[in-house]
Amino acid sequence: MKIKFISLALALTLCLGLAAPARAAAGYSDIPSGHWSEASVNKATALGLFQGVGNGKFGRGQPITKAAFVTALVRLFGWEEVTPAKASFTDVTANRWFYTAVETARANGAFAATSGAFHPTDNITREEMAVMIVRSLGYASLAGTASSYPCPFPDVTTNKGFITLAYDMGIVEGVNGGKFAPDATATREQAAAMLVRLYDRLYANSSRLASAGSNTKITVDTPAANEDDELPTTPLEPIAELYAQLRKHKSSGTDMSRAVLCLTGGGVRTITSNGRIVSTDTLSAQEVEKILSGSGVHTYYSTRYESAYCIYKPNSYQSATLWYQSEESLAAKLQLARLFGVTRYTLS
């Protein structure tokens, strides 16, 4: 299916809405005024992610089960419910209250698609929460990139990439002594805090600017095509390189709220003949649109790079590979930027 191209003339503002209905937040008797979790707990309640445990209490300090956390994740992402006739796990059957939530989360990649038992009533650990959040965002591969960076927590020995990425995005924090306590049972207020941080970043607005002006510019170079490549690979702002730049700026103390992500609005085309590169040029958004509207153009999308590309023959003896900015690729890059607190961008 051909991916719709976004032209430079389109003034795009991405605003994602949460499917779960909002509810009025009420104070809980076990959440003292001024407690570190007060704002998160109240907002998580208002968003419909959590409910109290009864008698006017939230359940501060109580553990949260895997099933309860998965249910909150499904509500946050607003995923369409999945209720298969055959259960995926031996201990998550259709008669259990969390059956649809677990199956929906599984279908959306929140955890590895394994068979056997899920252990839904086990208390979830801080590590498991971080991993589920990163997987739910579709960043399992990006966590592999993050594993090459130093982990901020000395007590993390497994899933380092997932926890590093969640930390870089500001979703998880450490505990006393600068440790993460990955195997510690997560409490209900810790889960609420993580999910509210995720919500605030994920559902922020991305605003397009005419120019970056004097703001800090975040740019990502387009890789050059190599002679030995069977397919000329010149994706625009590859997602792993974009993550590296966002991480670099944040680590160096850049005020991410004043940064602007500078993206390419057109595309990069490479012409080959008999397996050899003839030329590489940069096309405008209008030129890309014209090519995509032509006949004999085959469009593709690389989730590895989060970039669209097409292949066509400009004449009988040459082949062209064009990597371009699509609606899908733009949305993916803006989402990652928002998770780092960057909500403004340019297309040029």
> Closest by alpha carbon to 21, among 49, 51, 57?
49
Residue 24: pLDDT band by 50, 70, 90 thresholds? very low
> Closest by alpha carbon to 192, among 90, 292, 73, 333?
73
Token pair belonging to 157: 């020995």
HSE of 164 in the Cβ direction (CA atoms, 13 Å)?
Answer: 23
Q: Are 128 and 120 in contact (CB under 8 A)?
A: no
Q: With 50 as the cut, is the pLDDT of residue 3 above it?
A: no
Helix or strand (DSSP H, E) at 25: none
Residue 341: pLDDT band by 50, 70, 90 thresholds? very high
* CA 332 – CA 4 distance, rounded (Å): 14
CA quadruple 229, 240, 128, 184: dihedral, nearest 10: 130
The separation between CA 298 and the C-alpha centre of its own chain, rounded to angstroms, equals 27
Residue 346, strand partner residues:
262
Query: How many other CB atoms are found less than 10 A from the CB of residue 153?
Result: 20
The string of DSSP letters for 301-336 reads: EETTTTEEEEEEEEETTEEEEEEE-BHHHHHHHHHH
> Closest by alpha carbon to 293, among 312, 317, 319?
312
* CA 192 – CA 29 distance, rounded (Å): 17
The arithmetic mean of pLDDT across residues 122-151, rounded, is: 96
348 three-state secondary structure: coil
Q: What angle do CA 43, 50, 119 make, to 5 degrees?
A: 140
The string of DSSP letters for 130-145 reads: HHHHHHHTT-HHHHHH
* CA 281 – CA 278 distance, rounded (Å): 10
* Lowest-pLDDT choice from 68-77, 214-223, 273-282: 273-282
The arithmetic mean of pLDDT across residues 237-243, rounded, is: 97
* pTM score: 0.89
Token pair belonging to 298: 């085959």
Q: Write down the H helix ranges in the chain.
A: 38-46, 66-77, 99-107, 126-136, 140-146, 160-168, 188-202, 239-251, 285-292, 327-339
Phi, psi (degrees; rounded to nearest 5) at 157 = -115, -20
CA quadruple 230, 236, 240, 243: dihedral, nearest 10: 170
Tens of pLDDT along 163-193? Answer: 999 999 999 999 888 999 999 999 999 999 9
Percentage with pLDDT > 70 across the chain: 93
- Give residue 71's identity as a one-letter amino acid code: T
Average pLDDT, the chain: 91
Phi-psi region of 327 (alpha: psi -120 to 50; beta: other; left: phi over 0): alpha
Helix or strand (DSSP H, E) at 22: none
Non-local (6+) Cβ contacts of 53 within 8 A are 59, 62
Token pair belonging to 5: 């191209």
By the 10 Å C-beta count (0-12 exposed, 13-18 middle, 19+ buried), 46 is classed as middle
Tens of pLDDT along 273-318? Answer: 988 999 999 999 999 999 999 999 999 999 999 999 999 999 999 9
Per-domain residue ranges of the chain? 17-202, 206-347
Q: With 80 as the cut, is the pLDDT of residue 262 above it?
A: yes
Question: What is the total residue count of the chain?
Answer: 348
Token pair belonging to 243: 């993550």
Q: With 90 as the cut, is the pLDDT of residue 227 above it?
A: no
